Structure 1
Amino acid sequence: MQYNGEIAVHIGDERQSVPPAMALEVHLWL
């Protein structure tokens, strides 16, 4: 759970760099 939270924060911080589709795919993968 803690690792999932870190990933969410990381994606939120680099949302401008990472495409929305990729972020969503990673979120679903977790």
Structure 2
Amino acid sequence: MASRYEIRLGGSGGQGIILMGIILAEAIGIY
């Protein structure tokens, strides 16, 4: 699953991976 998201976000420029990482980190911290 993770590899697929990395490929899709990578096509957007690569910044999407960083943003998703931050969002996931915040989600884990909150929940």
Higher Cα radius of gyration: 2
TM-score (norm. length: structure 2): 0.47
Larger RCO (CA within 8 A; separation ≥ 6): 1
TM-score (norm. length: structure 1): 0.48
